[in-house]
Amino acid sequence: MSFVRKPAEIATTRIGPLARLPAFFALEGKRAIVAGGAPAAAWKAELLSAAGARVEVFAPSPSEDMGALAAAPPRGAIVLHQREWSADDFAGAAIAVADCADDNVAAAFAAAARKAGVPVNVIDRPAFSDFTFGAIVNRSPLVIGISTDGASPVFGQAIRARIEALIPKGFARWAEAARALRPRVAALALPFRSRRSFWEKFTARAITTPDRAPADADLDALMTPATAGEGGSVILVGAGPGNPDLLTLRAVRTLQSADVILFDALVAPDILDFARREAKKMLVGKTGYKTSCRQDDINALMISLAKAGRRVVRLKGGDPMLFGRADEEIAACRAAGIEVEVVPGITTAQGAASRLLVSLTRRGKARRVQYITGHGHDGRLPADIDWASVADPAVTTVVYMPVRTLSDLVATAVTAGLDPTTPAVAVERATRADERVIAAAITELPARLAASPPSGPLIVLIGRVFADYLRTAASDDVLTQDARALRLAQRN
């Protein structure tokens, strides 16, 4: 019996709790107060000056660092007042920072700043601060702030170092060019899709050539096609086996540029967090033996949205080109004259093998890998499987969607010559936090699964390459990822 459901839009996931709200102060030409003359205060005065503020420092005995900084500020002027601060000093200030010796002084400074309506930071005393600075990656006007809410500044600095390594210094020039271009692009009054396309192309060129300044020729070449209207399109995107960390960079960029996302029921919910918040997200899942959307309905919806000028992402679990009906959707788009492309994803077999730490083509054990589906259009075991190939001891076979047909598949394969003791591993929800693994000889696996039925997407891997894994797992009834991690830790 089949059950049909209609595509359904889902609500955008709300943002999770924030320890701090990240915000960026515009301080160009504004007055900033710094109390204290020690090196810690000098560093904050340097940041404020770099942001364009006119910094007034109140310190009876400023350090040499502070004096040198005032003599050669990075941007905004730094004026030294060799005295203690007073309440009158806060008048007209945009921001106030203090390096205080104790809580009483910190409380007094914070109270005076707030009475004057000035946001305040007391260095290393978050209880008295309206805001914190965090670690900074400076590719101005591209600026990245990192905060751990005071939990671990060293950790924040480590994250900053990682990001520094990923963001070329030349991005500063491209970010400056983007700022200069924005009014020109806005003046064109382009529709959203065309604007988005322009900035995607701009970003792609910046990423390709980050170490040189953008030339006029670059910008003119980008501006010319932006004036042309753009129709809708369809992009089939592989969401990978489930773990969001396994999304490709191209998949993430595509999700962030989508107008509408049509996603399968097997796509992990966390994957959708990478999508543009404004994108409409619609569940069009096809689930074996359960309520599903008809493929014709999915095709019709996909094409109608693209014809309306939308950028449609068809998001599929694993890789779209493996048992994902990609050929049917591509054919439908071509017949309708809709532009279509594919973003590949990590297929579930690769994800499962990586977590099992087993090579699917181990030398001397397997000379090839084959992927087969466990059920056909009628939900039964396909009649055209090459059983001699499945029985070949030098082949690793990966069976997709085998939940209902595994017993028949095993019986037929053994009849065709598959060794009944061939190692096999069933992986449910591969690569996800709640991944579950059952390892057994192939003839024992159906009964093991029947005793503990899977509730999520399942894949079965069969072959001699799993012999060592099976011996390791022999004492376990059901291995979870946590159990395997614990076992590895105990060995080491």
* Residues with a known catalytic role: 264, 286
Strands 436-441 vs 479-480: parallel, antiparallel or unpaired: antiparallel
Distance CA(7)–CA(439), nearest Å, equals: 37
Q: What are the residue ranges of helices labelled H in 209-309?
A: 216-226, 249-255, 295-307
- Find tokens 């009483």 and name the residue: 104
173: tokens are: 């020039």
Cα angle 242, 247, 252 (rounded to 5 degrees) comes to 125
Question: Residue 315: helix, strand or coil by DSSP?
Answer: strand
Cα angle 149, 152, 153 (rounded to 5 degrees) comes to 85
**Beta-carbon-side half-sphere exposure of residue 86 (alpha carbons within 13 Å):** 4
Residue type, 65: D
Q: How many angstroms separate the Cα of 291 from the Cα of each of 168, 285, 450, 458? A: 49, 9, 22, 18
Task: Answer yes or no: are the C-beta atoms of 40 and 63 closer than 8 Å.
Answer: no
Task: Answer yes or no: are the C-beta atoms of 234 and 333 closer than 8 Å.
Answer: yes
Question: Residue 50: helix, strand or coil by DSSP?
Answer: helix
Distance CA(488)–CA(356), nearest Å, equals: 12
Distance CA(331)–CA(302), nearest Å, equals: 12
* Longest Cα–Cα distance in the chain: 94
Residue 318 per-residue DSSP state: B
Q: Which of 238, 373, 234, 429 is nearest to 316 (CA)?
A: 238
Is-cis flag, bond preceding 141, omega within 30? yes
Distance CA(219)–CA(221), nearest Å, equals: 5
